[in-house]
Structure 1
């Protein structure tokens, strides 16, 4: 079974920059490029296969017409979306709905559970994750009164940190941060506060009522603890397993051979270079290992992040 290499899709944003070009050599559309949708079958930014027997095919068409590539994973939509996000400036403070709320209020969309691997960040960088309200009543009052400094919880970060972001968790990536995000295939974001910024001379839309409806209060800190184990040719760090995905990092040195699980596996090369099944690999490449691919052979010095649907 041939690996499915994908052409990324780029998204511009008022908070974006040029790191996607500098770090990975991508041909980005402008100096305010915020996102690389690296593995996506979402209609708002769909990847196509680059090379091989499926060259030029959209990922959603493969999902519909070649289900055996994905091990017969259930559902009519490809379930995951992998992005690299370049936050030159702060992103808005935001929150995502779960499947139940999104299904009811967003035309049957998936909700958005996501996780972040910090690829790089500025010294003394931080993220917004969570809030300080003691209950839903206080949360709503703080939001309606715009008491953002009192409400928002921040946390310092460093390269290599990992965060699981559940629906209902207030969050924001702050400036100077480059992350790899694995998420449900959803583009639903409720913007809570945007620092009164203007885009084309107007404030960006806020989603105050939806945000209040879905924010969980009080905030419960995620207790996910990455687990490191040594395998022949690689150090594996299991980052998270939740109901939607499982994510692992492999730091490969030399030859690393592995047979992945029964469903498909998304792979992002985040640093280094080498080969996979004899095909040259470099940082910034993304591909899918189809189901029933047998053993994959990686050779070289590189770090990859892999995700599987659960």
Structure 2
């Protein structure tokens, strides 16, 4: 039987970051203010290390390059997904991402960035930015030029457990007091539209107005995520979204449940509780991959996980 592949997260200090990656998830982080946990990543800006088993000490990018059989032998130069936990103490910039075609042309062959958010926690009156109110590109340009940000930006109320699919071209921002798990394409391309005139190192952070206008879709259209639940004997599986780049589920276990692993590979993140997979201890903040051919697996305990596969 193949090993479960556990990964060592990478942490990034951000201007808007809080300390909940340490206090809520128990990560051993030197800084009290972090922001991002790159939990499953083979990106050049953050390449996770395997914690256990035959490949202990290897980078995820190395497994992708040299042991493609672990991922079903699928094609592609880069590992397709990137999983983050984002802890926003204050508001992130208002931003937008390009699609594959635009990123390939203007960002040195990079992938675009389709992503989705599961709200792990938020303030009682939590809010998030998804979309804008401009009816077309001309109105978008005018509202940006006139700095009519309050009119332009679409702010929505949120609660713990909400889920959003963020397509390329969608204006969006995580607001302060919010912790999310993000599943995305393996890309680090972000265009900042507005950043509240914040200073970093004494200077305003770079904005990308022209590229933002290029890629923002007008008018905005919400993506419907028709969440469907499947009740099992000792677990509940909720289908969150399936798109061209990934399928994402939430698994809640309350006992012992055997699940199938028919995908080329599956990424799992423990977002709450504790238990075990095939007798291996799990706790909140663990991230791991079930490789191709792993077969059926047993989850036990009282825990919640977010899973993804291509």
CA contact (8 A) 2:21 2:37 kept: yes
* Pairs within 5 Å for 1:232-247: 232-247=233-248
Partner residue, 1:279:
280
Measured after TM superposition, the shift of residue 259 of structure 1 is 1.6
1:45 aligns with 2:54: no
CA contact (8 A) 1:254 1:301 kept: yes
CA RMSD of superposed structures (Å): 0.7
> Which sits farther off after the overlay, 144-153 or 25-34?
25-34
Q: Distance in 2 between matches of 1:28 and 1:94?
A: 27
* Pairs within 5 Å for 1:162-177: 162-177=163-178
Structure 2: state its 5+ residue gaps.
Answer: none
Q: Distance in 1 between matches of 2:82 and 2:150?
A: 32
Measured after TM superposition, the shift of residue 222 of structure 1 is 1.3
* Secondary structure at the counterpart of residue 65 of structure 2: helix
Q: Output the TM-score relative to the length of structure 2.
A: 0.99
Partner residue, 2:145:
144
Partner residue, 1:293:
294
Measured after TM superposition, the shift of residue 144 of structure 1 is 2.0
Partner residue, 1:104:
105
Partner residue, 1:159:
160
Q: Distance in 1 between matches of 2:262 and 2:248?
A: 12
Partner residue, 1:193:
194
Q: Distance in 1 between matches of 2:223 and 2:100?
A: 19
Q: Output the TM-score relative to the length of structure 1.
A: 0.99
* Secondary structure at the counterpart of residue 256 of structure 2: strand
Measured after TM superposition, the shift of residue 161 of structure 1 is 0.2
CA contact (8 A) 2:22 2:32 kept: no
* Pairs within 5 Å for 1:73-92: 73-92=74-93
Q: Distance in 2 between matches of 1:193 and 1:87?
A: 17
Measured after TM superposition, the shift of residue 23 of structure 1 is 0.9
Structure 1: state its 5+ residue gaps.
Answer: none
Q: Deviations over 1:82-103 (max 9, x none)?
A: 0000000000000000000000
Measured after TM superposition, the shift of residue 72 of structure 1 is 1.2
* Secondary structure at the counterpart of residue 164 of structure 2: strand
CA contact (8 A) 2:270 2:287 kept: yes
* Secondary structure at the counterpart of residue 103 of structure 1: helix
Q: Deviations over 1:268-294 (max 9, x none)?
A: 000000110110000000000001001
* Secondary structure at the counterpart of residue 143 of structure 1: helix
CA contact (8 A) 1:12 1:29 kept: no
Q: Distance in 2 between matches of 1:192 and 1:275?
A: 43
Measured after TM superposition, the shift of residue 160 of structure 1 is 0.2
Measured after TM superposition, the shift of residue 137 of structure 1 is 1.1
Partner residue, 2:268:
267
Measured after TM superposition, the shift of residue 193 of structure 1 is 0.3
